[in-house]
C-alpha cells in the first residue's frame, strides 16, 4: 500500500486536489461525475471542474477538465441538467444539451451563478450572457442544484444563500427569477449553508420531498458550538423532510433533533444524480478541518461510494436509509468467517448480523473498531494509524464517533473498507458512518467479539 493511501474503488482524481462532487448526471448508461478540482497541486486552489464517467459506479474513466476559471472567477460547485426538450436552445443536430449551472467565485469574493452547455457531454461552452443570477446582498451565494419543478412545469434550482437556501425558477435554463427561501436553522443546525439538494422521493404514504443542506456550524473561539445542540464538527450534512410547493421547500416533518445524512466525519456536500429515477448520492469523503493536511503525496481528496437513498418509516418517524451501490457483484463470493480472520486484501466488505465488535488490526497494534451496542453505533479510529498531522483529526471528538440507533431490531450492519477509508451502514442503512484512517501498515486481520455473525467478501 505504501504511504500514499489512495483507495482502490473510491473515486480519486488522477492527481492533486478534489473536493465537492458537482454536476452529477446519468446519460445513456453512463454516470457523469464532475468535481471541484485543482489540477496543479495537492491542496485547495483555483477551482476547476474535473470530469469522469462510469457504467458501474466503481471503475471510472477520466475525462478532460470540463470547466476552467475565467474572467468571472473560479468555478465553484453546481449541477447539470440533461435538457431533453432543448428548452435552452443550446442543442444542435438532434442532440439535447447538457447544461451546467455553477457558481463563479471572484478574487474579491463575489459569488454569482453562471451556465455552460455541451452537446457531446464532454466539452463545454460558457454562455455569453453570464452571469445569469447575481445577488448583491449576500457574501455566501453558491452551489446551485437544478431539479425539475413539476408544479410550475420548468426547472428550479436551490442555492446556498448565507444562513438560508434560496429557490429560483426558469422555463429556459437561462432566465431565472427568485421564488422563495428556506432558513436551515429554524429546525436543525444553523450556520452558513452549502451544497443544497432538493428532490422528491416515494414513501408508503405517497411522495415526500427531501432538502439536503451541508452546514458550516458556527463555533466560539475555543472551537465549541455557539448554538445549543450544535455539532462538534465544523461541517455537517443534514436533511429535512417535507413538501415542495413549486416556490420553496416546506418543512412538514418536525423532529426533536437534526436529521443527519451521515454520522461520521468524512462525508460532506453529498448530492444526487440528475436524470436518474432512483435517488443516488455521492459525497466528498474528507473534512475541511484537516483535508489540506492529510498524509497523501500525489493526491488529496476522494468520494464516498455511490449510495441509493430510500425513505422508510421508523418508530421515530420517516428517515432516509443509505444503500451502497456498485458492489453487489462482489458479494456473490461472500463467505462466513470465524472470530479471527486473516486478511489478504485491503479492499473488502463485511456483512455483520447481531451485536458486538468488529476490529480491523495490524502488526503495529493499530486498529479500527466498529461496535454495534444495544442503543448506539460506535466507530473508534483513535488508534487506527497516523493522526499527528492535525490536532482536530487526533481529537477524541473526531476519533470516537457515536450515533444513537434508530432501529434496534435491525441488527444488520454492512462495512466497506478501502485502503484508508471505512464506510459503515448500520441498522440496515439508517446509520451511515464514514471515516478516513491512515494506518502505518495495512490491516492484517479481522477480530470479531460478541454475538456477531460475520460474512466477508473481497472487492479488490
DSSP letter assigned to residue 219: B
Helix (H) or strand (E) holding 397: helix 396-399
How far CA 170 is from CA of 81, 92, 384, in Å, comes to 12, 21, 49
Give the CA-trace dihedral at 257, 191, 282, 3, to 10 degrees.
-110
- Residue 103: HSE in the Cβ half-sphere, 13 Å Cα cutoff: 30
Phi, psi for 184 (deg, rounded to 5): -65, -35
299-300 vs 16-27, strand pairing mode: parallel
**Hey, what's the cell of 445?**
486481520
CA distance 332 to 329: 6
Strand partners of residue 248: none
Q: Which residues, including other chains, have CB under 8 Å from residue 251's CB and lie 6 or more apart?
A: 182, 186, 187, 211, 240, 241, 242
- Among 4, 20, 251, 340, the one annotated catalytic: 20
Residue at grid coordinates 449576500: 138
Report the candidate in 78, 80, 75 with the shortest Cα–Cα distance to residue 97.
Answer: 80
**279 with 309: CB under 8 angstroms?**
yes
CB atoms within 10 A of CB 191: 25
Look up 20 and say whether it is catalytic.
yes
**Closest residue by Cα to residue 285 from 143, 391, 458, 418:** 418
User: Of 112, 142, 108, 136, which is closest to residue 126 (Cα–Cα)?
Assistant: 112
Q: Which residues are part of the catalytic machinery? A: 20
Amino acid at each position: 500500500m505504501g504511504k500514499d493511501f489512495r483507495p482502490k474503488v473510491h473515486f480519486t482524481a488522477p492527481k492533486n486536489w478534489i473536493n465537492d462532487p458537482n454536476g452529477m448526471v446519468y446519460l445513456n448508461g453512463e454516470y457523469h461525475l464532475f468535481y471541484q478540482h485543482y489540477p496543479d497541486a495537492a491542496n485547495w486552489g483555483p477551482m476547476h471542474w474535473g470530469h469522469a464517467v462510469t457504467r458501474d459506479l466503481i471503475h471510472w474513466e477520466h475525462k478532460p477538465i470540463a470547466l476552467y476559471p475565467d474572467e468571472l472567477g473560479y468555478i465553484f460547485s453546481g449541477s447539470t441538467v440533461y435538457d431533453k426538450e432543448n428548452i435552452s436552445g443550446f442543442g444542435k443536430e438532434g442532440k439535447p444539451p447538457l447544461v451546467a449551472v455553477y457558481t463563479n467565485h471572484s478574487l474579491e469574493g463575489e459569488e454569482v451563478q453562471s451556465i455552460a452547455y455541451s452537446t457531446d457531454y464532454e466539452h463545454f461552452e460558457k454562455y455569453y450572457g453570464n452571469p445569469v443570477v447575481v445577488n448583491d446582498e449576500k457574501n455566501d451565494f453558491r452551489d446551485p442544484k437544478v431539479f425539475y419543478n413539476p408544479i410550475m412545469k420548468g426547472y428550479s434550482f436551490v442555492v446556498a444563500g448565507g444562513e438560508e437556501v434560496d429557490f429560483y425558477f426558469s422555463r429556459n435554463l437561462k432566465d431565472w427569477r427568485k421564488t422563495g427561501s428556506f432558513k436551515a436553522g429554524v429546525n436543525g443546525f444553523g450556520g452558513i449553508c452549502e451544497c443544497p439538494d432538493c428532490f422528491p422521493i416515494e414513501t408508503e404514504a405517497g411522495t415526500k420531498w427531501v432538502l439536503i443542506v451541508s452546514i458550516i456550524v458556527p463555533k466560539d473561539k475555543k472551537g465549541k458550538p455557539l448554538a445549543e445542540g450544535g455539532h462538534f464538527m465544523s461541517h455537517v450534512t443534514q436533511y429535512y423532510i417535507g413538501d415542495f410547493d413549486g416556490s420553496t421547500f416546506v418543512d412538514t416533518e418536525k423532529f426533536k433533533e437534526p436529521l443527519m445524512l451521515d454520522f461520521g466525519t468524512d462525508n460532506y456536500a453529498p448530492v444526487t444524480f440528475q436524470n436518474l429515477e432512483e435517488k443516488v448520492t455521492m459525497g466528498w469523503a474528507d473534512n475541511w478541518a484537516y483535508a489540506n493536511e492529510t498524509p497523501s503525496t500525489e493526491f488529496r481528496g476522494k468520494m464516498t461510494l455511490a449510495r441509493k437513498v430510500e425513505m422508510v418509516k421508523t418508530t421515530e418517524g420517516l428517515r432516509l436509509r443509505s444503500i451502497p451501490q456498485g458492489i453487489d457483484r462482489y458479494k456473490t463470493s461472500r463467505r462466513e468467517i470465524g472470530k479471527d480472520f486473516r486478511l489478504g486484501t485491503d479492499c473488502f466488505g463485511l456483512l455483520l448480523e447481531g451485536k458486538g465488535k468488529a476490529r480491523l488490526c495490524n502488526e503495529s497494534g493499530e486498529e479500527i473498531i466498529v461496535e454495534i451496542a444495544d442503543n448506539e453505533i460506535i466507530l473508534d479510529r483513535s488508534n487506527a494509524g497516523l493522526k499527528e498531522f492535525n490536532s482536530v483529526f487526533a481529537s477524541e471528538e473526531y476519533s470516537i464517533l457515536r450515533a444513537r440507533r434508530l432501529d434496534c431490531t435491525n441488527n444488520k450492519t454492512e462495512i466497506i473498507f478501502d485502503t484508508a477509508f471505512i464506510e459503515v451502514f448500520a441498522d440496515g442503512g439508517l446509520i451511515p458512518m464514514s471515516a478516513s484512517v491512515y494506518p502505518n501498515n495495512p490491516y492484517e486481520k479481522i477480530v470479531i467479539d460478541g454475538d456477531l455473525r460475520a460474512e466477508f467478501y473481497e472487492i479488490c
